[in-house]
Amino acid sequence: MKAIIVGGGIGGLSAAIALHLRGWNVCVCEQAPALTEVGAGLQISPNGWRVIEALGVADHLAKVVFEPEAIEMRLGTSGRRVFHLPMKGYALKRWGAPYFHVHRSDLVDALAARLAELAPDAVRTARPVSGYTSSGVVQFDDGETQDADLVVGADGLHSIIRRQMLGCQSPRYTGNVAWRAVVPLADLENPPPPTACVWAGNKRHAVTTRLRAGTMANFVGMVEQDEPAPEGWRVEGSRDDALAAFLGWDPTIVRLIEHAPVLNRWALFDRPPLPRWHDGRVALLGDAAHPMLPSMAQGAVQALEDAWTLAAILDGADDIEAALGQYYERRIGRTARIQAGSAANARMFHKASVLGRIGFYGPMAVGARLFPSLVHARQDWVYRHDVTGQT
């Protein structure tokens, strides 16, 4: 059985590995001339790490991941801690797998290396796709076509596959733009804490993590803005604009912006849950199916879950089209709930008024101090979920 995967990002490479492990002949078609990613950090929660291990990728990441000591929230302007919940070692005990930070490009490199071990010629770069037929024929920009038993559209927010399948509706602007930077820790006199830290503020928030075995600081800042910024992960923003967006904030955040070699800035979009993810033998995966805000740190992890679930449901299936319908039914409820939760988290982190912040973060701080296990329990449905154990 042959599968063509459109898109060589995290979701596409994971799907290729998962399918190959079940006997499929896979080909990953990436429009870019090389498999590259921007400098950015990811949080891989236990539900995602289980997939990393099942794919055989964990060893490729062993020297570059960072295990945070805790998940915490601080107030953006003062730096005052709202709550601090243990994570290092605790995640494994509570949810059955660790919680790691990883550089996005390190994860892509690890997935590509693992796929190369299994199928050395599986990735084709500079192969933009223009369309498909529901019977599994892929059409390329140069006019060539290829037949497959399965086509997977893992080609992101502006998916060519999704557009043909469901029409040209534009993604909806969420009213937020994001700043992102990675800074060597050696350049910072006051580095962010060795945690996954949310810094909450007035119509904006930031997240700091550590990458590359703790040698780099990762910064993501989300700011409410009526007009979207230019699209694209590689669009550079102005340092003065970033400093203005976080004016008066804790020096930890200000110094990160001041020392960032590059500051990328882009608009954040999502889509409402789609009515279907497949057309005949063609299926969607990852951001092509369910783009979401980064406020639950689940975008990449949900692509990993998609990839494993898709391959598992197809394993031994007599009817590929029926199996793709089952894939949608198994995934749509969970991904829609996480999309909604990500949007709700962004609103929670952006309390505008002083009274609003006191009224919301005060009880949260008390609850986390007195009943930390109950606060952790709010994540059980996300982190304890194990797609690798499903049949």
The phi and psi torsions of 74 (rounded to 5 degrees) equal -130, 160
| Total tally of structural domains belonging to the chain | 1
- 207 has which bridge partners? 198, 220
Do 122 and 15 meet the contact criterion of CB atoms below 8 Å apart? Answer: no
- HSE-up (13 A, CA, CB side) for residue 368: 18
Q: What residue spans of 260-371 are helical by DSSP H?
A: 299-314, 320-349, 354-370
Identify whether 188 is part of a domain: no
Give me the mean pLDDT over the 315-323 stretch.
Answer: 96
Identify whether 91 is part of a domain: no
Give me the mean pLDDT over the 133-153 stretch.
Answer: 97
75's CB contacts (< 8 A; 6+ apart) are 82, 199, 200, 201, 357, 361
Residue-wise pLDDT for 178-210, tens only, equals: 999 999 999 999 899 999 999 999 999 999 999
* CATH code of residue 332: 3.50.50.60
**What angle separates helix 10-20 from helix 104-118, to the nearest 10 degrees?**
30
Tokens representing residue 91 in the block = 């995640």
pLDDT the model gives residue 233: 59
Identify whether 100 is part of a domain: no
Identify whether 266 is part of a domain: no
Residue 138 is part of which domain span?
2-37+105-169+272-346
Identify whether 329 is part of a domain: yes
Identify whether 213 is part of a domain: no
Higher pLDDT, 346 or 320: 320
pTM of the complete model? 0.94
Identify whether 330 is part of a domain: yes
Greatest alpha-carbon pair distance for the chain in Å reads: 64
pLDDT the model gives residue 355: 56
